[in-house]
Structure 1
Amino acid sequence: MRSVGVEEELLLVDARTGEPRALSAAVLAAASLDPSGNEEVFESELQRQQLEFATRPQTAMGDLADEIRRWRAEAARHAERLDASVAALATSPLPVNPSIGTGERHQWLKEHFGLTAQEQLTCGCHVHVSVESDEEGVAVLDRIRPWLPVLLAMSTNSPFWQGEDSGYHSYRNRVWGRWPSAGPVEVFGSADRYHEQVNDMVASGVLRDEGMVYFDARLSHSYPTVEIRVADVCLDPSTTVLLATLIRALVETAAREWREGVPPTRHGVALLRLAAWRAARSGLEDHLVHPVTMRPAPAEAVVRALFDHVRDALEDSGDVVAAQESLAALLKTGNGARIQRELLRTTGSLREVVAECVRRTRG
């Protein structure tokens, strides 16, 4: 059974106004004083209005769900000491002036990337799935490429930007795409070719190090995993768990195809960029680009195509029923982008949108 770990980036907001607050250092300090000794779970991010946590590798999805809920609650508890809270929002609905961290790496990014770095207050969800070798990992990356926009569409949770409706379901994806190394990639064919490409990118001088290789999916440079980085942080932890379940099954399906000699599809990067744009624009509310045909199809049909593609792996891991039920609930109630817009229609206030999202994040 492949293990799965999740990293979630959360937005730190004022408990009364809902406006983002640059408190990551203070929250980390509060966590370090906690007698539970779990401060190493939390990390700072590029912007001081963000806080990240990482789960341990898990093989049972129920255990993963428990961890995600636990660390969200712990993050909220630490923030509350500072009259703040956390929200699982991929962008701030309210206007914000982001504040880049003071560390050497963050200041380097600020100096070299200017406004791209300054505006980069976005919160994502990264899912790590264990692989046996770099060769297997790259074979997986080559075969999951066309399915990544579907995962993005399911996770979309960033319709607002600087107090306005962006017109997108994931504006985070559009902002994140400004980094020169972000987005979909070509078929590599081998681990040697993957590492050669990464080394060449760093040697160009544009990137500081391998950690700045922001592919939608990559080999982790810290763990024996593939890291799928395409998703928004999800408002509801059940959506995060559903994504992790489908991603593990997608990795397993791709690895089986590789062992059986099934070649990856050769969709070009240009088409994959269009599919990602459509997913960010439409979420689950309209058509998506079908990963097999690269033609428009209703979002529900495309999501169910992903489910059918990985069904055998879900059956083998014992996750098929839970995934089916969670997927049906997501399609019925909607993801974070739909919920945020419905909250705005109901309350007429972006502050109330943030307040409700804080409550949902805290659980």
Structure 2
Amino acid sequence: MGADAVIDLPSATEAYATGTDGTVGIEEEFMLLDTSTLDLVPRFEELSASTAKDPELAVSVAGELIRTEIEIRSGRGENLGDALEHQRVHRERLFAHAARLGISLGATGTHPWDDYRHQSFIDTEHYRRVVDGLRWVARRNATFSLHVHVGVRDADRAIAVCDRLRPVLPMLLALSANSPFVDGIDTGLHSIRTQTFTKSFPRCGVPDHFGSWKAFCRYLELLQATNSIQEYTQVWWSVRPHISFGTVEVRICDAQSTAAEAEALTGLIVACALQAARDHDEGRPLEPVPARMIEENVWRAIRDGRSGSLVDWDTATEYPAAAALDRLLAWTAPVRSELGIEPVLPDRNGAERQRDRVADGASPAEAFAASVAETQATYPPSAASPSDPQERST
């Protein structure tokens, strides 16, 4: 069994004890596409082998279950800016390798017409465990997302941050929704990725409010003792403490079609995590929101993205989901002003832009092609250079 299969809670406790607030890691998942047809193509091993010859990139490339997907990782950045700089370099080099092989990289939460029944899996011990354990659920999952790690010192504080981020998850999902089409149909939803992944995988979605590291450890020990999990990464919550890295990992967002959106969401997530840590440190009261209420907002975000409404449970009133950004910016203003984080998101997210194109007469395939064109045009650093603050959006 691989090293990532070992649940070493004492080492995890130490990782948090020696950790640093505000380190950042970014993980972006891209689909591998035929450049002419935009069909998914199972060429992960080929692209991975190409990147393996590039010492600056090899350690930053990873597989994600299916052979039509590749993940690019920033590695640990000492702060947001550092992580973004690393990720820009890695993206540029990955896109160059893909282009040389005649592969296009796409970045929406789902592929509009791929037949999941024809997917094949990466042949590693880890993914064999995933497929053996999840069976149809693993085969059905052909999804692409954005994950952000934020360093949080002290294990109890990490749990507190996760607890405080629970009701924030639907807001981040509404802002990032980018998957209206799957299986050759318009689903009527804005994030079918979330419905497919979060509602199918076990130990996924909104976690419980744990309250302490001790309570969280008891839960993991129970899962392991009952053979429910063999490794920690089989806990797939939308926000989780990542015990190998000493971080809080937010996993709710769809993959983003443009670099500016991915970077803005990363900055927003970093600000939310650090503000949650500050609120905990300052003793701000936290009344745990029941999961059933948070899940109601998750469903609204899945269904309508930022075009619908969310519920403010404190006042039992609805508010426009598009206002989620202003609410999060207001909450995180203290941390953002200190760190200079100013996320700028477009007025229409990826799902809305795809739906707008269909409303204007495009087919879902044509709307997807336009999204792929956005990705090809904006992900290389030449289109969003560190020297351009408007494009940097953080």
TM-score normalised by structure 2 residue count: 0.84
- The answer for the alignment partner of 1:340 in structure 2 is 354
Range moving further from structure 2, 77-86 or 19-28: 77-86
Matches within 5 A, 1:1-363: 2-34=22-54, 37-58=56-77, 61-96=80-115, 97-177=118-198, 178-290=200-312, 292-293=314-315, 295-319=317-341, 322-323=342-343, 326-327=344-345, 330=346, 332=347, 334-346=348-360, 348-362=362-376, 363=378
Residue identity matched to 1:88: A
Q: Which runs of 5+ in 1 are unaligned?
A: none
**Contact 1:100–1:106 (Cα < 8 Å) also in 2:** yes
Q: Tell me, in whole angstroms, the C-alpha distance in 2 between the residues paired with 1:289 and 1:335.
A: 20
- Rounded to whole Å, the distance in 1 between the matches of 2:357 and 2:76 is 34
Write the letter of the residue equivalent to 1:44: G
The CA distance in 2 between the partners of 1:289 and 1:338, in whole Å, is 20
Query: 1:212, 1:292 → 2: CA distance?
Result: 33
Cα distance change of structure 1 residues 79 and 206 upon mapping to structure 2, 3 Å threshold: same
What secondary structure sits across from 2:76 in the alignment?
A: coil
- Calculate the aligned-residue CA RMSD, in Å: 1.9
In the aligned structure 2, how far is the partner of 1:299 from the partner of 1:265? 22
**What letter corresponds to residue 86 of structure 1 in structure 2?**
L
2:382 aligns to what? none
Question: In structure 2, how many angstroms separate the alpha carbons of the residues matched to 1:149 and 1:203?
Answer: 32
Contact 1:181 1:214 in 2 (8 A): yes
Q: TM-score, normalised by structure 1?
A: 0.91
Q: 1:61 to 1:347 in 2, by over 3 A?
A: farther
Q: Tell me how far 1:255 sits from its aligned partner.
A: 1.4
Q: Which amino acid in 1 is paired with 2:296?
A: L
What is the deviation of 1:346? 4.4
**CA distances 1:148-177 after superposition (whole Å, capped 9, x unpaired):** 110111111111111111111111111112
C-alpha separation between the residues in 2 aligned to 1:16 and 1:292?
51
Say if 2:22 and 2:80, in contact at 8 Å, map to a contact too: no
State how far apart, in whole Å, the 1-side matches of 2:357 and 2:88 are.
Answer: 22
- d(CA) in 1 for partners of 2:25, 2:351: 24
User: Following TM superposition, by how much is the alpha carbon of 1:82 offset from its aligned partner in structure 2, in angstroms?
Assistant: 2.9
Q: Deviations over 1:196-220 (max 9, x none)?
A: 1122223332323111111111111
- 78-87 vs 307-316, greater mean Cα deviation: 78-87
Counterparts of 1:149 and 1:276, CA distance in 2: 5
Contact persistence 1:93–1:162 (CA under 8 A): yes
What CA deviation, in whole Å up to 9, does each residue of 1:133-158 have, x standing for no partner? 11110111111111111011111111
- Shift of the 2–338 alpha-carbon distance from structure 1 to 2, 3 Å rule, reads same
User: Are the equivalent residues in 2 in contact too, given 1:146–1:292 (CA < 8 A)?
Assistant: no
Q: CA-to-partner distance for each residue in 1:283-326, whole Å, 9 max, x for gaps?
A: 1111122364454211133331221111111111122xx32xx1
Q: Percent identity?
A: 30
Aligned-pair CA distance for 1:108: 2.5
CA contact (8 A) 1:143 1:265 kept: no
Amino acid of the structure 1 residue aligned with 2:29: E
Amino acid at match of 2:22: R
Gaps of 5+ in 2: 1-20, 379-394
For 1:337-362, what per-residue CA distance to the aligned partner results, in whole angstroms no more than 9, with x for missing partners? 11222334446334433333232222
| CA distance in structure 2 between the partners assigned to 1:304 and 1:227 by the alignment | 22
